[in-house]
Amino acid sequence: MSKQSGWKRWLVALAVLHGIIACAGFFAPYDPAEQDRDHPYLPPMKLHLVDSQGHFHARPFVYAAQLPDDALDPFEKSTAEPLPLHFFVTGARYRLLGLVPFRMHLFGAQKSRIYLLGSDAYGRDQLSRILYGGQISLLAGLLGAGLTLFLGVLIGAAAGYYGGWRDGLLMRAAELFVALPWLYLLFALRAFLPLSVSPVESFLLIVLVIALVGWARPARLVRGVVLSLKERDFVRAARAFGATDGYLLRRHILPGTSSVVLTQAAILVPQFVLAEMTLSFLGLGVPEPVPTWGSLLASLQQYSVLVSYWWMYVPALAIVPFFLGYLGLASALQRETGTEKIVRTTGGARW
Amino acid sequence: MVRMTRLRTFKRLLSCGVLLASAGVIPKPASGLPPQARSPEELLALPGEIGKRGGRLVVSLRAEPKTLNPVTAVDAPSREVILGAMQADLIHINRATQLTEPALAKSWKVSADGLQYTLTLRKGARFSDGQPFDADDLLFTFRVYLDENVHATQRDQLIVGGKPIAVRKVNAQTVVFEFTKPYGAGERLFDGLAILPRHLLEKPYAEGKLSQVWTLATPANQWAGLGPFRLKEYIAGQKLVLERNPYYWKQDAKENRLPYLEELVFLFVPNADAQVLRFQSGETDLISRLGAENFSVLSREQRGYTMSDAGPGLEYNFLFFNLNEPGAKTSPDLTRKMKWFREAKFRQAISAAIDRNAIVRLVYQGRGAALWGPVTPGNRRWGNASVRHPQRSLEQARALLKEAGFTWTTGTDGEPGLVDSEANPVEFSILSSSTNADRTKMATLIQDDLKQLGIHAQVVPIEFRSLIDRVTQTKQYDACVQGLVSFDADPTADLNVWLSSGGTHLWNPSQAHPATAWEAEIDKLMEQQLDAPRYEQRKKAFDRVQEILADKQPMIFLASPDILVGAKNSIGNFHPAALEPYVLWNVEQLYFRGTSGSGRQ
């Protein structure tokens, strides 16, 4: 594996993963908010190719689940009725990529709903919720990281380049932001907001909060790089030739920080996804019935769910490939650009 | 777990018609008196399994009690400990039969006009420090409770018809209570009124320091009560240890003095899940107030304990809308919404659209009952059988909304949306307590039900205190899912909920004058049932109240959970009841069967 293709492979893998989440409507068989009140906490259905009589079927199928007479728990498999999987079926309305109205889903079943990853307390399809939940969590992470880096580069470059009292002021502010007990401030903030915050508003709020918390660390990193860059010979030479501050920053200094910024981005995105999950887990995130990875895990706060329904943990597994992808990309980028030393010594944000 | 129980009405006014029903419980003189006895004791003999002396029973308490002083106790844990285990009342409501029975008063007579109650006190009864109890303690107790300067929580309860109850001593064993208004058999009033020991509390009372004594830090020898257990030790943040009161005035059918247990320990375990874990690991012996999900977790692997479903209790959960008068501070947005909420047809439509059976199935896993009124199936005597239980009907809901002037338009997402006569989309938020997963779940189900009517509802779980503040003080909310637990089956227990002047009249609390004609009628009917001498008359009045509630839907009743409890197999005389305290109501009779019982599983 050449050095060059290392980070590209990670990038392709991430693009595929994000593509799946972006097209959640197509891959998810059902609407994530649709309740099936006869099937709460249904365990995942197994895909079969061989039926109970031993016959082979080319089309994969599942067995419907039923409650035993007069009981509410647990579900039993009813082998009487195989439910074959159908592909490219027409189902719940959704907008592909949030724009194009669409009704086609990758798969579905005709007679009854199928739950490949089980259902939650309201009989909502866990697979659909995980896919849709990723949209919010990942978007929050990406937007949050973008905003953070924008703020971080702006402040870090200003502090590093101008130095003096401006540097002192900005860096003390950064230290303050790192030291504040954010979680408690968030609780207080939520109490002041109007009661019913729509999902879009609370999503934007989360992104804003994540960015506000996060800018301090990248700002300090960028400042360090800028400090060393501005003393380099080529920068001094440019200045001697009469280059303005704006030109120097744009042309010589900021491009020099790009490797740090890119690597930071790859590290920050998963961190901010985790931040969103933390907020939603604590009920400060996007309200029901909109799913996010954090709110999907929130039901695990209940002891009974924790010990009874193992499939409620699955959303926690969903983040693993994404995190692996981002961290793999980050280390490949580090190797590529040789910024390893800087990043290693400064560590990440505290979430 | 914070529940609405804190808001429970403390008014337990006289209920008539519930007359003596304690024929099986005949006080008889005890033999085997302690040598230091000065007068013959009249012990109360309880029927039931004969137990074995000894053992320590450990139970969880969801919060640390704030005090051991009955005069200042308002929080649920304090009341549970004080009234449940440390103090005794004159006349007691049997939690199993829901009827009254003699306690410290061994018998009582009501005058023909219903104005006078003559109570005969148990002879030879003594406080837990060995001091005798007599009519003077009783007079002292009522003087304290009725003293305005003391601010006793019991005072409200003892003001009947605007006048305090008068207490007169006839002799050391006989006391007469006089009412200014005719009352039927109002002996339910005396349940939950702890008797204060004059010999310990007269001095602090005279000095005006009564509310400062009997904190949790009180030394055990300065505390005395008439309940089955007395104070032994308190460890802040951990536990409260009570020990057997050797002077307790009850015995079993074989004349063994009760209680059987040597010690009763309350562990402070604030979290419901943590209580489950403690019980599962055997650290606690009993568990009550279980959610359905935890109940099925515990039921799945019963190791040395037995779980039981005691049937529906008295908790009723409901959705209510903000029916207050819009004030100067009300936002225009809320004022506009309040116009919908005040329309009875709108509320009826919401009620018709709610799938109550789904709530029972999904929230309580089937361990509960759907409700169409405040009287749960756990209440044996007060339900109105003629109140209809309509099944969910979206057609009916739509018809009602149409009648009320609402129409549907197609929104931007292609889904039909409900709009009012001024083309405003119908949207509102539903508050629920963030610490109560059950009610938040109900709200989420309602949200989905209403979506099918084109109503966009949002569930807003907030902290319990700010929820109460919004509902009763600032009145800045749209709708709310809450629940109440009556602590007596008698309708007077919830007087504060139904009277328009009541503080727990949640949809429009503490009104100076009834805001609507139907609220005025409910007020009148509630007064009527208070005054009526016979059960049938009272029932008729309260039946009518239930009909009005079903028609006007100020509260849209949802469901009532079963009382789910568990106990170690070794505990004898364990009979959970639908009334609080669900498992400890007969704590004096609970006992450990010994190794032969608990060893086997």
Sign of CA dihedral B208, B211, B216, B220: positive
Q: Which residue has the higher pLDDT, A81 or A309?
A: A309
The stretch A174-200 carries a mean pLDDT of 76
Q: Does B429 touch chain A (CB under 8 A)?
A: yes
Residue A69 φ then ψ, to 5°: -55, 135
Residue A304 to residue B444, Cβ atoms within 8 A: no
Question: Which of A34-48, A73-87, A228-242, B294-308 is predicted least confidently?
Answer: A73-87
Residue A73 to residue B296, Cβ atoms within 8 A: yes
Amino acid at residue number B199: H
Among B29, B62, B72, B27, CA closest to B47 = B27
Tokens 């009104």 correspond to B511
Sign of CA dihedral B69, B71, B74, B80: positive
CA distance A288 to chain B (A): 7
pLDDT in tens, A11-56: 999 999 999 998 888 888 888 888 888 888 888 888 888 877 778 8
Contacts of A73 in chain B (CB under 8 A): 296, 365
Q: How many angstroms separate the CA atoms of B29 and B21, rounded?
A: 21
pLDDT in tens, B139-168: 999 999 999 888 888 887 788 777 888 999
C-alpha distances in Å from residue A46, one per residue of A76, A278, B95, B287, B321: 12, 31, 49, 38, 45
Beta carbons of A272 and A285 less than 8 angstroms apart? no
pLDDT in tens, B420-462: 888 889 999 999 988 888 999 999 999 999 999 999 998 988 8
User: What SS3 string covers chain A?
Assistant: CCHHHHHHHHHHHHHHHHHHHHCHHHHCCCCCCCCCCCCCCCCCCCCEEECCCCCEEEEEEEEEEECCCCCCCCCEEEEEEEEECEEEEEEEEEEECCCEEEEEEEEECCCCCCCCCCECCCCCEHHHHHHHHHHHHHHHHHHHHHHHHHHHHHHHHHHHHHCHHHHHHHHHHHHHHHHCCHHHHHHHHHHHCCCCCCHHHHHHHHHHHHHHHHCHHHHHHHHHHHHHHCCCHHHHHHHHCCCCHHHHHHHHHHHHHHHHHHHHHHHHHHHHHHHHHHHHHCCCCCCCCCCCHHHHHHHHHCHHHHHHCHHHHHHHHHHHHHHHHHHHHHHHHHHHHCCHHHHHHHCCCCC
Q: Does B100 touch chain A (CB under 8 A)?
A: no
Evaluate if residue A129 carries a pLDDT over 60: yes
Q: Which of A93, A122, A191 sits opposite B362 (nearest CB)?
A: A122
Q: Strands B427-433 and B479-485: what pairing?
A: parallel
Contacts of B465 in chain A (CB under 8 A): none
Contacts of A295 in chain B (CB under 8 A): none
What pLDDT is recorded for position B338? 92
Q: Which of A37, A122, A283 sits opposite B434 (nearest CB)?
A: A283
Evaluate if residue B12 carries a pLDDT over 70: no
Q: How many angstroms separate the CA atoms of B451 and B426, rounded?
A: 11
Residue B296 to residue A304, Cβ atoms within 8 A: yes
Q: How many angstroms separate the CA atoms of B180 and B121, rounded?
A: 23
Evaluate if residue A140 carries a pLDDT over 90: no
Question: Which of A277-291, B317-331, B449-463 is predicted least confidently?
Answer: A277-291
Residue B460 to residue A287, Cβ atoms within 8 A: yes
What pLDDT is recorded for position B599? 35
Q: How many angstroms separate the CA atoms of B365 and A37, rounded?
A: 11
What pLDDT is recorded for position A203? 80
What pLDDT is recorded for position B413? 65
pLDDT in tens, B126-140: 999 999 998 999 999
pLDDT in tens, A307-331: 888 899 998 898 899 999 998 988 8
* Mean pLDDT rounded to a whole number for chain A: 82
Asked if the interface predicted TM-score (ipTM) of this complex is over 0.90, the answer is no
Q: Which of A122, A198, A304 sits opposite B294 (nearest CB)?
A: A304
Q: Which of B291, B294, B477 sits opposite A195 (nearest CB)?
A: B477
Query: Which residue in chain B has the smallest CA separation from A121?
Result: B362
Amino acid at residue number A75: F
What pLDDT is recorded for position B373? 93
Evaluate if residue A211 carries a pLDDT over 60: yes
Of chain B, the percentage scoring pLDDT greater than 70 comes to: 91
User: How many CB contacts within 8 angstroms connect chain A with chain B?
Assistant: 73
What pLDDT is recorded for position A1? 46
Q: Does B477 touch chain A (CB under 8 A)?
A: yes
Query: Which residue in chain B has the smallest CA separation from A302?
Result: B273
Q: How many angstroms separate the CA atoms of B275 and B269, rounded?
A: 6
Residue A305 to residue B476, Cβ atoms within 8 A: no
> Residue B21's pLDDT band (boundaries 50, 70, 90)?
very low
Partners of B572 in the β-ladder: B591
CA angle centred on A331, ends A330 and A336, rounded to 5°:
100
Q: How many angstroms separate the CA atoms of A250 and A235, rounded?
A: 12
What pLDDT is recorded for position A68? 64
Contacts of B511 (CB under 8 A, 6+ apart): B500, B501, B505, B519
Q: How many angstroms separate the CA atoms of B167 and B190, rounded?
A: 13
Contacts of A305 in chain B (CB under 8 A): 293
The stretch B535-564 carries a mean pLDDT of 93
Partners of A249 in the β-ladder: none
Beta carbons of A92 and A30 less than 8 angstroms apart? yes
* Most confident segment among A126-135, B37-46, B74-83: A126-135
Q: Does B483 touch chain A (CB under 8 A)?
A: no
Residue B459 to residue A37, Cβ atoms within 8 A: no
C-alpha distances in Å from residue B386, one per residue of B315, B348, B543, B560: 21, 18, 9, 19
Q: How many angstroms separate the CA atoms of A29 and A34, rounded?
A: 11
Q: Does B280 touch chain A (CB under 8 A)?
A: no
Amino acid at residue number B596: S
What pLDDT is recorded for position B551? 93
Contacts of B445 in chain A (CB under 8 A): 35, 37, 122
**Residues, chain A, total?**
351
